[in-house]
Amino acid sequence: MDSKKQFLNPEFSPAFVDSPYVTQLCKITAGLYQHGWDERNGGNVSYRLLPEEVASYSGVHDVKRNLPIAFDASALKGQLYLVTGTGRYFKNVKDFPERDAGLVRIAEDGHSVDLLWGFNDGGQPTSEFPAHLMTHIQRQKQDANQRVVMHCHPTNLIAMSFTLPLESKLFSRLLWKMQAESVVVFPEGIGVIPYMTPGTNEIGQATAEAMADYRLVLWPQHGIFGAGDSMDETFGLIETAEKAALIYSTIQAQGGKFVNEITDQNLKDLCARFDITPNQDFIDGDSLIK
């Protein structure tokens, strides 16, 4: 049978639940839970898919429901997002992906989404979905390949937000100097916004504004928002920052005195070696050794 006819015939079309996109979402959400970053129903992920990536799968071509969103996402109309559900536990997504995740399309009106797959128990996208969409809009302006937004609760990054001034330069330089990988993975640094109520459009707007300059934005006393071109890149971005925060926390537990450090010149040498341009406003500053 002609391959095009196979794709049009549900009998020959693979199920979307078996797609690499759902498989990857299951793997990432399980990893986030196992790291201890997504307790209970904490955290959420959205993954932009292209129409041609979805076209050959069955069960994704009819609108199951139309769901309102409290944000005007007209700038993204027609785009497809695989997104985790509100109130869903990340430890369960791998076992119940059709219940705890959904594939939605931003509707023409911009104020709702068409559910094409998933949320088969009546669920809906994460309550942070408007914040995700605001970030997708901003990051697509910076990078046309932007695909993923990930929110989670990394323990050591959150702990740092209780004990340090909430300044992007301070956090960026500390995380850069905790390990050689940091400045290579996020040379622009990390954005830090003031504490704001989660689940509101206000925190979404503040995050999106910061995303014009950063791919990582810290929500003090709460968690982090990360953005990237792929699931692996975004997960690795957060993982690298959290490892640096763990090293900082360990140093503090050992007494907090720096005898040695990665110097500013070391940072510049790293950037030259890997042909990257660091945030010029952050690359020079005070030493950690007092």
pLDDT in tens, 205-238: 999 999 999 999 999 999 999 999 999 999 999 9
Cβ-contact 102, 82 below 8 angstroms: yes
**Pick from 253, 37, 260, 279: which is nearest to 170 by CA?**
279
17-46 burial code (b ≥16 CB/10 A, e <16): bebebbebbbbbbbbbbebebbeebbbbbb
Local structure of 78: helix, strand or coil: coil
Fold of 131-290: L-fuculose-1-phosphate Aldolase (3.40.225)
The model's pTM is 0.93
Answer yes or no: is pLDDT of 189 > 80.
yes
Structure confidence at residue 281 as a pLDDT band (50, 70, 90): very high
Answer yes or no: is pLDDT of 47 > 50.
yes
Question: What's residue 4's pLDDT?
Answer: 42
CB atoms within 10 A of CB 260: 7
**Pick from 265, 273, 275: which is nearest to 176 by CA?**
265
Q: Which residues are designated catalytic?
A: 128
Question: What's residue 11's pLDDT?
Answer: 61
Tell me: the pLDDT tens digits for 89-120? 999 999 999 999 999 999 999 999 999 999 99
Structural tokens at position 126: 């994460």
Structure confidence at residue 199 as a pLDDT band (50, 70, 90): confident
DSSP-derived pairing of the beta strands 101-106 and 148-152: unpaired
CB atoms within 10 A of CB 229: 16
Residue boundaries of the structural domains of the chain = 1-127, 131-290
Residue 249, phi-psi category: left (phi > 0), alpha (psi -120 to 50), beta (remainder) = alpha
Identify the CATH number of the domain defined by range 1-127.
3.40.225.10
> Would 1-127 and 131-290 be classified into the same CATH topology?
yes
Tell me: the pLDDT tens digits for 121-165? 999 999 999 999 999 999 999 999 999 999 999 999 999 999 999
Residue 100, phi-psi category: left (phi > 0), alpha (psi -120 to 50), beta (remainder) = alpha
Alpha-carbon 232 to chain mean position = 10
